[in-house]
Chain A
């Protein structure tokens, strides 16, 4: 009777001798993907490419108490209990103050590494968290698109890229990653992005698993045309498609785990979830992941009640996490490669409510931060008196922000991604 070791060699690996596991890991994904058959397209390697971090401030951030129009009487009239006084703010420009809980962003602004975009929104705004988030993530104000703006970026601008071209640190896939071909990967924690099986002496189980989750067709020595059979997009049958995704999952899982295990950061991060997420992003950047877009979330901005302390606390946590993150990138020597932008599904109503909070509103501000950014204030501050149903009217379409990031940072044509020409804002270098 054969020993188990012999047995494994002769049956699992032997049955398909051309498939050895280490070979797989070494092989770049780009080789495996049919999209790479267009040899004119340079596969993304990622090691020195630009990186975008998208940071969601979930719940609807109160823009007026983030970037405060402290010289406007209308602001104090509308918010007798919530208004911020000039002395509590970090002054950015005439009449514009940054919430005092964000000293690090204040210093970034002084160094010219923070762009503040005011009055961002979209026509016919929707006040539902669900719908408005969806609109921001898909970039479609009709809320009908089944793909996201980042997913369309992956599909259009990164042919042949690894599935790790986009990594979301959320548990579920953000709508913005929705794609026809490559939706990136989503993991709450790299340790969990793997096939979990019983431990003990069953390390061998992985070999069986790997073999089952590899395409049936032989690949070694195969021509690119043959690869098309397992990696095809158009007309690809469902089994071939599943086998391709299974292999992507398996290999990217190994890659993520290795990198996460290898790199520890020297900078101290806080204990908040957003700090942990950004720490993970920094580790993956340091590890040379071929990732172009990272997506992280910071929640709790739905401040209907007694918002004064909670809102400041959330902004402070964000500020603290960003401080560690950018220090870390600098330490790694990657500061020039990374730009971070925030977004939130909507701002809050101008007038405070009876519970010393604010209700769902419309236009709001957002931040774009990092060494590559041309700091300053962008977009006109919305009027506090000329309102639409009690809400700020937007002066910048959110797709202008996307277009700027896509064109001037990710170096791609925004048109096929945003399905329209929205112009750019000039906040990238």
Chain B
């Protein structure tokens, strides 16, 4: 397949959008029915608790609240697992990578939204629009329940406009700092009033009497604008052509986007009517994308680190406990961006602690960090020790995950015949883990290590140790 055909295959994946069935509680057909019932139930309980002040009634109410919180947490974990599984197994990798891009761009956190089903609904929306019309997606975000709860449009009404969404839609979503005035935000916030997510119907409506229908002036234009009209105005601004392409270049290529490239991409973006697909096509066909200074010089995000590792080791799954605990330790938890600006990428992922955590997670996943005795005993003392240090749910999950973890199939990854020759074994593992040639220093050290390890036979555990060593390197953090 030529380069062009490959790019087209990535941009036009055949995997259906619903290829991975959602958890029952997030199924769009039933989620809102459940949410409505839940809502009604809690309302009833709250009213009962307000009428009846007795200790028993209050206790009953508290227990009900706690149960609801527990269920929401459970769903949260399950939802994270669902997306992680999809990232691992998807036949549409570029689309999933774009879903992660949108999740970071339109950052929305479960911490505030609290309803996992809404986050999964938003996640599916990102998938539908993955390569599509950015303007249409921005319009859709105005009516996305999770975003509405996260940026307080739900609570923004005529007379008391909340400026949160108005500010972020300009600063973080479409234009970037310096391309709007404080007054534009104030006026736009009035236009964004009256949007309501009706929890009982599961629908977003624009309530006319809560909308400030008065005259507003935004970007020098005056009218009785509503939210959609303000979004249209945003896309008339010159800055809207550059903002997203620049961010896409940074996401896919390098930490800084060269000015001339941004200009070219911006032109393409505007001419195509803000089609993300056309920008991506241009990025992937550009000479600069294949330049030796940018290839394998990107620091993997924690999610990319975990997904790539699983794919390289041909794992069907990671232990459920590892998935969340590893995300927490490495600093990127799905559905839990730190704030509305999303995650800090690149070098910000790495500090002494997260780097050692990456090495140690690789040790757990490869099973290369276990001693032979531990393996024979079927236990895993070191990891148990690690888990014992914390008493929180994370530590417990980690421990449970580790106990049952089988590890990669090394017979398949490194067939016995290959192990006869340490050089060939190392080269094969380098190709698998780094997808490129490594510096001669690194290769020499790996080969020396393999030779030092090789006794009469090269055991599976020794292959695991070799893989672990190869992953415990600065080079492995790059993609």
- How many residues from A make CB contacts under 8 Å with B? 60
Judge if A332 is at the interface, Cβ distance under 8 Å. Answer: no
CB nearest neighbor in B for A215: B474
- The 0/1 profile, CB within 8 Å of B marked 1, for residues 177-189 of chain A is 0000001111111
Residues in A203-240 with C-beta less than 8 Å from chain B:
204-205, 208-209, 211-213, 216, 237-239
Restricting to B55-74, which residues have a CB under 8 Å from any CB of A? 58, 62
User: In the complex, what's the smallest C-beta–C-beta distance from B327 to chain A, in angstroms?
Assistant: 11
Q: Are B474 and A189 in touch, CB under 8 angstroms?
A: no
Main secondary structure on chain B at its contact with chain A? helix
Chain A, residue nearest B348 (CB)? A146
CB <8 Å contact, B478 and A209: no
Kindly specify which of B208-216, B237-245, B367-375 makes contact with the partner chain. Answer: B367-375
A199 to B375, CA, bound (A): 12
Asked if residues B352 and A211 are in contact (CB atoms below 8 Å), the reply is no
CA–CA, A243 and B53, complex, Å: 63
Q: Is A173 an interface residue (CB 8 A)?
A: yes
Is A248 in the interface zone, CB < 8 Å from B? Answer: yes
Cβ contacts under 8 Å, B478 to chain A: 238-239, 242
| Distance between B294 CB and nearest chain A CB, rounded to angstroms | 10
Stretch at the interface among A190-198, A365-373, A384-392: A190-198
Residues of B in contact with A, size category: 35 or more
Q: Is the CB of A242 within 8 A of B299?
A: yes
- Across the interface, which residues of B come within 8 angstroms of A213, CB to CB? 472-474
With A8-B452, A211-B445, A242-B474 known to touch, is A196 a contact of B389 (CB < 8 Å)?
Answer: no
Given contacts A208-B469, A216-B439, contact A196 B353 (CB under 8 A): no
- A281 and B422 alpha carbons, distance in the complex (Å): 46
Task: Digitize B112-145: 1 where CB-to-A-CB distance is under 8 Å, 0 elsewhere.
Answer: 1000000000000000000000000000000000
Do B62 and A305 touch (CB < 8 A)? yes
Q: How distant is the Cα of A193 from the Cα of B59 in the complex, in angstroms?
A: 43
Most chain A Cβ neighbours within 10 Å, of B328, B341, B445: B445
B355 part of interface (Cβ distance < 8 Å)? yes
**Contact, CB under 8 Å: B351 / A246:** no
Q: How far is the CB of B81 from chain A (nearest CB, A)?
A: 20
Which B residues lie within 8 Å of A355 (CB)?
58, 62
Please, which residue of chain A has its CB at the minimum distance from the CB of B388? A189
A212: contacting residue among B374, B394, B472, CB under 8 A? B472
Question: Which one of B100-108, B356-364, B403-411 is at the A interface?
Answer: B356-364
A11 in complex: contacting residue of B299, B359, B372, B444, CB < 8 Å: B444
Given the complex of chains A and B, what is the CA–CA distance between A198 and B472 in angstroms?
A: 13
Closest B residue, CB atoms, query A129: B111
A146 to B346, CA, bound (A): 13
How long is the Cα–Cα vector from A11 to B297 in the complex, in angstroms?
A: 28
Contact residues in A for B369 (Cβ distance below 8 Å): 196-198
Contact indicator A144/B341 (Cβ below 8 Å): yes
B449 within 8 A of A: yes
Q: Known contacts A11-B444, A146-B348: does B474 contact A243 (CB below 8 Å)?
A: yes
Q: B329 near A172 (CB under 8 angstroms)? A: yes
Closest to A198 in B: B371
- A305 and B58 CA atoms in complex are apart in Å by 11
Contact between B351 and A183, CB atoms less than 8 A apart: yes
The 0/1 profile, CB within 8 Å of B marked 1, for residues 231-270 of chain A is 0000001110111011011001100000000000000000
Whether A197 lies near B468 (C-beta < 8 A) is yes
Known pairs A197-B363, A198-B369, A242-B299; A7 contacts B452 (CB<8 A): yes
Q: B55: shortest Cβ distance to chain A, in Å?
A: 9
Given contacts A188-B389, A216-B441, A242-B355, contact A11 B448 (CB under 8 A): yes
- Could you jot down 25 A-B contacts, CB within 8 Å? A12-B448, A146-B344, A146-B348, A171-B389, A173-B351, A187-B353, A196-B369, A197-B468, A197-B469, A197-B472, A198-B370, A198-B371, A200-B371, A205-B469, A208-B445, A208-B449, A238-B255, A238-B298, A238-B478, A239-B478, A242-B474, A246-B473, A246-B474, A253-B352, A354-B58
Query: Which residues on A are within 8 Å of B, measured CB to CB?
Result: 4, 7-8, 11-12, 15-16, 128, 130, 134, 143-144, 146, 163, 171-173, 175, 183-189, 191-200, 202, 204-205, 208-209, 211-213, 216, 237-239, 241-243, 245-246, 248-249, 252-253, 273, 305, 354-355
Top 8 nearest A-B pairs by Cβ distance?
A242-B474, A249-B352, A186-B353, A199-B371, A198-B371, A11-B448, A183-B351, A212-B473
8 new A-B contacts, CB < 8 A, other than A16-B441, A216-B439, are A197-B368, A199-B371, A208-B469, A212-B445, A213-B472, A213-B474, A237-B297, A239-B474
